[in-house]
Amino acid sequence: MEELRVKKIEIRNNISKIFNKLSSNNIPKIKKSLEQRLFDFANFVEAKISLLYINSEYEVASKNIINNSIKYNKTVVLPSYDKETHEIVFMKIENFAKDLKPGENGVLKPDAKRCKIVPIEFIEIAIIPGLAFDEKGGRIGSGDGLYDRLIPKLPSTARKVGLAYESQIMQQVPMESHDKHVDIVITEDRVIYRI
């Protein structure tokens, strides 16, 4: 168990090197290709209520995805985590610039004064962030366990889709018993269905 934790820490520490290898000239092109692949993905196109995320530093940027989803009249839902109560609520946002505020860790989160709560059972597809994924749907997140607690609560019919750059795909992600898989991973090059 301790060996897996050490390996995860090592992977998290190496992610910055992976991102730094992506040249600043290539990032916009890669990002656009990944976003296009997501917006061509049938499950995403058909879903009316989509759970998205606000990215942290070494996750696929989500602002364009959120704004384009709103533009295409999708209902965009973001998780809002309360560190004191350890509860996650899902809130509908309609305007990226107006409906978000800085959270405790500096990452934007829905403003409860402006956004309405959406029951979890209404979510049709969940786009899940991660620092690294493998072809079996294994993922390493930021280490706070938020998505490992969230994934099992999602409706069984909701697709759980990880977004990653191809360089974030590993041969095998170390998984502990509490870690949860995604069904599909989308990169700029391919759609990977969990084996």
User: 0.85 exceeded by the pTM?
Assistant: yes
How many residues are given for the chain? 195
Question: pLDDT at position 14, please?
Answer: 81
Domain spans of the chain, in order of start: 2-193
* Model pLDDT for residues 102-132, shown as the tens digit of each residue: 987 778 999 999 999 999 999 999 999 999 9
Looking at per-residue pLDDT, the higher value among 78 and 13 belongs to: 78
What percentage of residues in the chain have a pLDDT greater than 90? 67
What percentage of residues in the chain have a pLDDT greater than 70? 97
Taking residues 31-44, what's their average pLDDT? 96
* Model pLDDT for residues 63-87, shown as the tens digit of each residue: 999 999 999 999 999 999 877 777 8
Nearest to 169 by CA among 195, 192, 153: 192
* Model pLDDT for residues 162-190, shown as the tens digit of each residue: 999 999 999 999 888 888 999 999 999 99
Asked if residues 103 and 135 have their Cβ atoms less than 8 Å apart, the reply is: no
* Cβ neighbour number for residue 31 with a 10 Å cutoff: 17
Q: CB under 8 Å to 69, separation ≥6 — which residues?
A: 50, 52, 76
Q: Which CATH number fits domain 2-193: 3.40.50.10420, 3.30.390.30, 3.40.50.2000, 3.90.550.10?
A: 3.40.50.10420
Question: pLDDT at position 178, please?
Answer: 85
Q: Phi and psi of 124, rounded to 5°?
A: -100, -30
Please determine, for residue 35, whether its predicted confidence score (pLDDT) is greater than 80: yes
